[in-house]
Structures are given as structure tokens and as C-alpha cells.
Amino acid sequence: MTAILVAEEDPRICDLLTDALEADLSATVRCERTGSLALRAIETAGFDLLIIDVDLPEISGYELARRAANRNIPALLSSGHPDAVAKLTEYEFPYLAKPYHIADLIGGAAVAITQAGKNIRRIKASFAKLEATIEGLKAAMAESERPMNGSKAILGACGCDVVGEWLSRLAP
């Protein structure tokens, strides 16, 4: 029997997905409402698929999908937030944009399960792109701080308090 973990904070959505997946895929479905509970579940039980909301508390859905892929478990991410959907699209994660039709859920789940290897490779590649972007942003921020730190050092070395001098000129 197919085992699916739904990682979703909203209990109503969990119930709806459980009913649909049990009825249409004859799956056994387990719901967890936080990223850490879902992570514990994938570490202790076998699943054929994870359906993950990206905005989970405690551990993000992206991180949960990465960890599932490292355990050879395919995943579908989901979100209804436009910024999150844009990120899922940009980085080419397998996802469903909320609200979605039950037929899209069932179809997406079936494809993810039957093409598990492809799904897992896609998640790993998408996460690698996301990490590269984050590292690039960190490097750019560090680079932009260097001139500012240099200016502070020069001002400190000359004993200049430019802001203080400027403010004193404004006082009546």
C-alpha cells in the first residue's frame, strides 16, 4: 500500500488531502503540522511521497523536501502565497499552487510516485540552485560592507565625527 506524509499546518487541509488521497490512491496518509514533526516521521517510517507546504513552522518545507530527497523519498511542495509560488517556479521545484483541484493533487502525486527518481533529482537540483543564490547574496552583502567598513576605519583613525559635526551645524 502507498504511504504518503502530508506536512501541512492547517488541519482542515490535512483532512481534505487525507480523504482524497485515501479514496483516489488507496493510500495510507499521515499528517504532521510542523516541519520538525514531519522530519521525525520521515526518519522513523517509510513513505512513498511527501506533500509539503513550504511555510511550515520550525523547519521549512524546502529543507524538509531536501531531507526527504536525501532519503530517496519524492515530494510535492505547495503554497498559496504568490512569492512562494514564484520561488517554486523560479527554482523548478515540483509543486502545486494552492488552491488546486483534487484531480491535480492526485495526478501530481501519481507522477511523483511513479517517477520518483526524476522527482528526487529535480528536488536536489532545485535546492542546489536555491543554495547557490543564497551564497551569492551573502557574498554580495559582504562585498558591499567592505567599502563601508573602510570608510568607518578612516573616520575613526582621523578622529572625525562627520555626523556629529553635521548635526551641530544644524542646531540653532
The DSSP-derived string for 67-123 is: HHHHTT--EEEEE--HHHHHHHHHTT--EEESS--HHHHHHHHHHHHHTHHHHHHHH
Residue 160 in this model has a pLDDT that exceeds 80? no
Residue 69 inside a domain? The answer is yes
User: What is the β-pairing status of strands 49-53 and 3-7?
Assistant: parallel
pLDDT of the residue at 54: 96
Structural domain for 37, as ranges: 3-128
- pLDDT, mean of residues 148-164: 60
* Residues 101-124: tens digit of each pLDDT: 999 999 999 999 999 999 999 999
Residue 152 inside a domain? The answer is no
pLDDT of the residue at 141: 83
Residue 157 inside a domain? The answer is no
Residue 103 inside a domain? The answer is yes
pLDDT of the residue at 126: 96
pLDDT of the residue at 148: 63
* Residues 130-155: tens digit of each pLDDT: 999 888 888 888 877 766 666 666 65
Residue 143 inside a domain? The answer is no
Residue 59 in this model has a pLDDT that exceeds 80? yes
**When comparing pLDDT for 70 and 167, which is higher?**
70
Predicted confidence band of residue 166 (pLDDT cuts 50, 70, 90): low
Residue 142 inside a domain? The answer is no
> What CATH number did the domain enclosing 11 receive?
3.40.50.2300
**Rounded to two decimals, what is the model's pTM?**
0.80
Nearest-Å Rg of the Cα atoms of the chain is 23
Residue 118 inside a domain? The answer is yes
Predicted confidence band of residue 169 (pLDDT cuts 50, 70, 90): low
Residue 138 inside a domain? The answer is no
User: What's the domain count of the chain?
Assistant: 1
28-37, 44-53, 137-146: the lowest-pLDDT one = 137-146
